[in-house]
A and B are shown apart, each in its own frame.
Chain A
C-alpha cells in the first residue's frame, strides 16, 4: 500500500480547494484530515471554469511563468502579498514561485483588482497554470 506523504496532502488540499467540495474528511492509519471550506464567490473558481469566467467577465488570467512552489507571502507566517478584492498597481508583486530555492516574483502586468487566487500556498503550480484572475482597472 502506498504511503501518504506531505506532498500528497498538499496536492489533496489543492484538489479539494479547486473543487466544489465543502467538507472533506479522510482517515488513514494515523492520519486524519478534516477540511471545511468557507465559500466566497471570489473563491469559487476551479481551473477549467476560471478561463471561461475570466473571458466572460473580462478578467485577465495571470499565469505561472515557471513551475515551482506557489508562495503567497514572502515567507511562512508573513502577511500575503495580495488578497482577493485587493487593488494592485502595475508591476506589483503578487506572489513568489520557489524553484528549488530560487524565488521568481510574479508581477501584475497591469493595474487591477484581484478577483481570484487559484493556487494554494506551498502547492506546486505548473508552467502556465492560472494562479490569479485580475479585473482590469483604468489607472487614473
Chain B
C-alpha cells in the first residue's frame, strides 16, 4: 500500500542529516531536522526546511530521546522519520513506537532489527540456510568448558566478553597452554569493566578481510544486492577506509557472498537497506557470516559511486510503499571508489578527540570527488558526539586511479583549528602494502600504526 510522504523528520545530526536533507530536496520532500541545543546552529539546521530543538546536548536527552523525537515529528507535521545511522537506528522498539503514532519509519521492520540484534539467533538462522558462520560457542562459564569449546572451535581463539562490544573485552589465545590464564584474566577484567564476567569463544581468523554486501528490500518482497564493500582497514573495530568493489575478490566468491546475503534478506522478509557483514579468511579463501546491520551505513557512498544508485532515495521510496526502482540485472559495477573517514582526532596522540572551532576548511573541486560533511569554516565541533567530520570519497576507472584521485584530494584538503586524521589517511594511501592490497583487518593496528607512531615520535 502506498503512503504519501511529503515531509520527513530527520532524527539525527552531522553529515548523515545533511545527506538525508539533500535527498529530500532532490525528491521535492520537505525536511525537518531534530537538533540538540548545541546543534542549533549546525549545517543541517541551516539547510533543512525547519529545525526543531528537541533537548539538551547529551544524546540521552536529545537524539536518543524517543518521546521528544516522536512528539517533534508529529508536531512538525511529518509523515515519516529517518533515523540515519547510530542513535535510534537499530533500536527495535523505535519503529514500533513510530508505528503506534502513525509515523512511517524509514528503515527495516522492527522484527528484522530485533532478529539481527540477537547474535545467537542470527547465527542459527544463517546456519540453517547453509551459509558458514564463524565457528564459535554459546556462553562459556568456566575454564573447563572453555578448554573444550576452544579445542572444538580450533585455535587460535578469540575470548569475547558477552557484555563487551566495539572490541572491548576481547583476548586472542593462540595456544591451549595459554587458555586458562587468559580466560580467568578476561573474565575478571570483564567483571570489572562491565559488571558481567560471562564469556564466549570464537575461532580467531588472523588473516581476515571484512567484506560486506549491501542489500535493499521492498514491501513487495523484492531483494536486490548492490555488490560488496571492503572495510578491512580498521582501528579498534572502527572503519577508517572503505572501498568498492573489494580488490582481489574472485568473481566466484563475489557471486557466493552476494547470493548468501540475498538469501538471508529474503528469509527475513527484509525491507529497506541493510548490510550483511562477512569475514573472509584469506588463508583458507573461505567466507563466514559475521553479522547483519539493519540500517543505512556510514560507508554507503562507495556503493552509490560504483553503481550510480542513490540509496537514500531508494529507502524513502520503499518506505512510501513503492517497489525498488531497479532490477538486479540493472545493478552493475562501474569503476572503483574509496572513502576515507576524516575524524576530529589527533593521530599522533593515540587518536585523542580534538573538538574545537574549525578555522579553515577548504576541499578541492575535482572529477570523481565527493565530500559528505556537515562542517564549514567557523563551525564549532562539539565534544558531545562522535568525531566524524567528513567522508572524502574518490573514484576512478580502476583502483589505482581512485587511489591517485584520493591522494590528490587529501593533499589539497586543508583543515585548521582542530586536529584531524587526514595525515594518517595520507600515510595509509601512500603505503606499499595498501597499494598492493597486502592487508587484513589487523594490519592497521599491528603494522601501520607502529610505523606511524615511531615516525611521529621521531619527528618530535
A116 an interface residue at 8 Å Cβ cutoff?
no
Q: How long is the Cα–Cα vector from A67 to B6 in the complex, in angstroms?
A: 23
Binds A, one of B47-55, B130-138, B203-211, B350-358: B47-55
Chain B's interface size range is: 20 to 34
Q: Contact between A124 and B76 (Cβ–Cβ < 8 Å)?
A: yes
Q: How long is the Cα–Cα vector from A127 to B68 in the complex, in angstroms?
A: 9
Q: Contact between A127 and B56 (Cβ–Cβ < 8 Å)?
A: yes
Chain A residues with CB below 8 A from B56, complex form: 127-128
Name A residues whose Cβ lies closer than 8 Å to a Cβ of B. 2-3, 5, 7-8, 11, 66-69, 99-100, 102, 124, 126-129
Q: How long is the Cα–Cα vector from A68 to B72 in the complex, in angstroms?
A: 7
Q: Contact between B54 and A126 (Cβ–Cβ < 8 Å)?
A: yes
Q: Contact between A124 and B68 (Cβ–Cβ < 8 Å)?
A: no
Chain A residues with CB below 8 A from B189, complex form: none
Q: How long is the Cα–Cα vector from A3 to B30 in the complex, in angstroms?
A: 12
Q: Contact between A129 and B30 (Cβ–Cβ < 8 Å)?
A: no
How many contacts between A and B, using CB within 8 angstroms? Answer: 55
Chain A min CB distance to B432 (Å) = 52
Q: Contact between A69 and B75 (Cβ–Cβ < 8 Å)?
A: yes
Known: A2-B30, A7-B75, A100-B101. A127 touches B70 (CB 8 A): no
Most buried by A among B6, B7, B75, B76: B75
Chain A residues with CB below 8 A from B55, complex form: 66-67, 127
Which residue of chain A is the closest to B101 with respect to CB atoms?
A100
Q: Contact between A7 and B37 (Cβ–Cβ < 8 Å)?
A: no
- B contact patch SS: mixed
Known: A68-B71, A100-B67. A129 touches B53 (CB 8 A): yes
Query: For window 54-83 of chain B, which residues contact chain A by CB distance below 8 Å?
Result: 54-56, 62, 67-68, 70-72, 74-77
Chain A min CB distance to B275 (Å) = 32
Chain B residues with CB below 8 A from A11, complex form: 76-77
Q: How long is the Cα–Cα vector from A99 to B55 in the complex, in angstroms?
A: 13
Task: Known pairs A2-B6, A126-B52; list 14 more (Cβ under 8 Å).
Answer: A2-B7, A5-B77, A7-B76, A8-B77, A67-B68, A67-B72, A67-B75, A68-B71, A99-B71, A102-B67, A124-B76, A127-B55, A127-B62, A127-B68
Q: How long is the Cα–Cα vector from A2 to B30 in the complex, in angstroms?
A: 9
6 tightest A-B contacts by CB? A124-B75, A7-B77, A126-B53, A127-B53, A67-B68, A2-B6
- A contact patch SS: loop
Which residue of chain A is the closest to B61 with respect to CB atoms?
A127
Chain B min CB distance to A7 (Å) = 4
Which residue of chain B is the closest to A97 with respect to CB atoms?
B71
Q: How long is the Cα–Cα vector from A124 to B37 in the complex, in angstroms?
A: 17
Chain B min CB distance to A71 (Å) = 13
Which residue of chain A is the closest to B77 with respect to CB atoms?
A7
Q: Contact between B54 and A127 (Cβ–Cβ < 8 Å)?
A: yes
Q: Can you identify 10 A-B contacts, CB atoms within 8 angstroms?
A: A7-B74, A67-B72, A69-B75, A100-B71, A100-B74, A100-B101, A102-B67, A126-B52, A127-B62, A127-B68
Query: For window 1-48 of chain B, which residues contact chain A by CB distance below 8 Å?
Result: 6-7, 30, 37
Chain B residues with CB below 8 A from A8, complex form: 77
Most buried by A among B56, B76, B77: B77
Chain B min CB distance to A110 (Å) = 22
Chain B min CB distance to A123 (Å) = 8
Chain A residues with CB below 8 A from B74, complex form: 7, 100
Chain A residues with CB below 8 A from B52, complex form: 67, 124, 126
Which residue of chain A is the closest to B4 with respect to CB atoms?
A3
Q: Contact between B30 and A124 (Cβ–Cβ < 8 Å)?
A: no
Which residue of chain B is the closest to A8 with respect to CB atoms?
B77
Chain A residues with CB below 8 A from B68, complex form: 66-67, 99, 127
Q: How long is the Cα–Cα vector from A132 to B75 in the complex, in angstroms?
A: 20
Query: For window 108-159 of chain B, which residues contact chain A by CB distance below 8 Å?
Result: none
Q: How long is the Cα–Cα vector from A31 to B106 in the complex, in angstroms?
A: 31
Q: Contact between B76 and A67 (Cβ–Cβ < 8 Å)?
A: no
Chain A min CB distance to B319 (Å) = 18
Chain B min CB distance to A115 (Å) = 23
Q: How long is the Cα–Cα vector from A139 to B70 in the complex, in angstroms?
A: 41
Q: How long is the Cα–Cα vector from A100 to B54 in the complex, in angstroms?
A: 14
Chain A residues with CB below 8 A from B67, complex form: 99-100, 102
Q: How long is the Cα–Cα vector from A66 to B67 in the complex, in angstroms?
A: 10
Chain B min CB distance to A138 (Å) = 31
